[in-house]
Amino acid sequence: MANLKEQKFPEVQGGGSLILAWQIKNKTVLVVGGGEVAAGRILNLLNADAHVVVVCPSEGLNPEVRHRIANDGVTHVDRVFEPQDLEALPPTGTSPDMVLVAVDDPAASTQIWKLCKQRRIPANIADVPSECDFYFGSVHRDGPLQIMVSTNGKGPRLAASIRRWIGDHLPQGVGNAIERIGELRVKLRQMVPAIEDGPKRMRWMTRVSDAYSWDDMCALTDEDMDNLLKFYQTNKVPELHVLKAMRGGKVVEDLDVFDGSFGFSVVA
C-alpha cells in the first residue's frame, strides 16, 4: 500500500452545506405566513408532493396563496400561529414534518424557531440564515431534472442569476431524455429484478446513457426501448440506426447488418 502521505485526497472546504434532495412526498409541512415568500415556498412543496398546511389570517394571503388553497389541495388555518400547531395540524391531527416561516415579525419568527428546536422539527426562517436548518436554493426544473444553486444564504439573487445561466446552456430536450432513461431503467429492472444483477444493470445503463445524444434519447419510442433491452444479456449497446431498422417487429437476424448496408456496430 502506498504511503498515506504520498496519496492525494480532495481538500476540505469548510463553510458549505450538505446539499440533498429531501423526499417529502406525502409528508406534512407547515407554512406560517401567506405572502410572496410563502407563495414560492408553497409551490416548491407542491412540486415535491408534500401535504401543505398554511397558518395565516385570511387578510394576509396574497393572490397566489389564495389560488393554491382553492385549487391545489392546500389546507388553510385562518389565524396566527399557535404553539399547538407543532403538535397537531388538520386534517390528519399529526405534527408537521417540517416548518417554513415567512412572516414580517422577527420576534415571532424567532419564537417559532425555538419551539421547533425543542421538538426537533427541521425549520427554515425566511431571510434569517442563523435560524435555518436548511436553505432554499435557486432551482432549474425541466421534468425530472432539478439543478439547485446555493450560495449558503449569502447571495440569493446571485444564485438565481447563476441558475438562469446554467438553464440557458443546457441541451434542448434534456428533461425528456432523462425521462426516457428513467423509463428504460424501470423496464430493465422488471426484466432482470435480481439484486445480484444490480451492478451489471448499472454498468449497462451507463453505457446506454453515453451511447446516444440528448436528441436521440428523446426520439426513442417504446418499441425502440424494448428492442434495446434485447441487447442487455449480451452486454451490447447498438447504434441508433440499428434500433430504427428493427422497428416493425424485425429482429437483428432479419437485418442485413453485416454487409455495411446498416453500418452495424456495437459500442465498446
Phi-psi region of 71 (alpha: psi -120 to 50; beta: other; left: phi over 0): alpha
> Which helix (H) or strand (E) segment is 147 a member of?
strand 145-149
Residue with cell 449558503: 152
Phi-psi region of 141 (alpha: psi -120 to 50; beta: other; left: phi over 0): beta
Distance of CA 80 to the CA centre of its chain: 32
Would residue 127 show up in a list of annotated catalytic residues for this protein?
Answer: yes
| Strand arrangement, sheet containing 98-101 | 75-77, 51-55, 28-32, 98-101, 123-125
Active-site hit among 97, 127, 197, 216:
127
The answer to whether the CB of 52 falls within 8 A of the CB of 75 is yes
Q: Give helix then strand counts, H and E, for the chain.
A: 9, 7
The answer to whether the CB of 241 falls within 8 A of the CB of 263 is yes
Q: How close are the terminal C-alpha atoms of the chain, in Å?
A: 32
* Alpha carbons 23 and 21: distance in angstroms, whole number: 6
SS3 100: strand
The answer to whether the CB of 42 falls within 8 A of the CB of 65 is yes
Which residues are the active-site residues? 127
